[in-house]
Amino acid sequence: LCFVSNPDLLIKKLANVIRQGGRAIFHEYGQYTTWRFFPQRASLEEFRNHVIATWREAGGEPDTGLQLPSWLKKSGFAVHSVVPRIFCLQPDDYMWQWPSAFIQVHLLRLQELGRIDATFADKVRADLAAAEKEETSFMLTPLVLEIVAEKV
């Protein structure tokens, strides 16, 4: 939903097609700025901030999960659970590939948009590569809210 310009409307439409008693499960970002590397890497945090800004400029909202329970309730759902999902990863964790691949792809997108230049993109790539080689390197993933709702 974070990429949808009117997620409230999408939830209303979803409510029209889900039968009473049907469940919907969402995984939506709740606090995107939790995506951090440590030791801290300034270029990677700046990259994350560019991501947030471009999503908002395009009409999206990276922290949509915070509003989703109220949209669900307004549209006739009962929210059964909201569980935060955040992970602390090291480079050898399989899940590390998810944000790492996103960085590689989205750097190109940010360059296409004229938001960053090649020098900054190269710095981010170098810092990511350095993080992936350090035994003491960790990454916190963006906080995702797992929301389970039932149509009532």
Q: Please give the full DSSP string across 79-133, using - where no structure is assigned.
A: EEEEEEE--EE-TTSGGGHHHHHHHHHHHHHHHHTTSS-HHHHHHHHHHHHHHHH
Conformational region of residue 108, where left means phi above 0, alpha means psi within -120 to 50, and beta covers everything else: alpha
The burial of 105, by beta-carbon neighbours within 10 Å (0-12 exposed, 13-18 middle, 19 or more buried), is given as exposed
- Predicted confidence at residue 5, as pLDDT, reads 83
Any idea which residue has 């792809």 for tokens? 105
> What digits encode the pLDDT tens for the residues 65-91?
999 999 999 999 999 999 999 999 999
For residues 51 and 116, what is the distance between their CA atoms, to the nearest angstrom? 11
For the stretch 45-69, pLDDT in tens is: 999 999 999 999 998 999 999 999 9
- pLDDT computed for residue 13 by the predictor: 96
Q: How far apart are CA 33 and CA 29, in angstroms?
A: 10
- How high is the pLDDT of residue 2? 87
Q: Say whether pLDDT at 117 is over 90.
A: yes
pLDDT digit string (tens) for 1-57? 888 889 999 999 999 999 999 999 999 999 999 999 999 999 999 999 999 999 999
Report DSSP letters for 8-58, one per residue: HHHHHHHHHHSPTT-EEEEEEEEEGGG-EEES--HHHHHHHHHHHHHHHHT
Torsion of the alpha carbons at 53, 59, 64 and 68, rounded to the nearest 10: 170
Q: What is the pLDDT of residues 90-116, one digit of tens each?
A: 999 999 999 999 999 999 999 999 999
| For residues 122-141, average pLDDT | 97
- 23-31: strand order across its sheet: 23-31, 143-151, 77-85
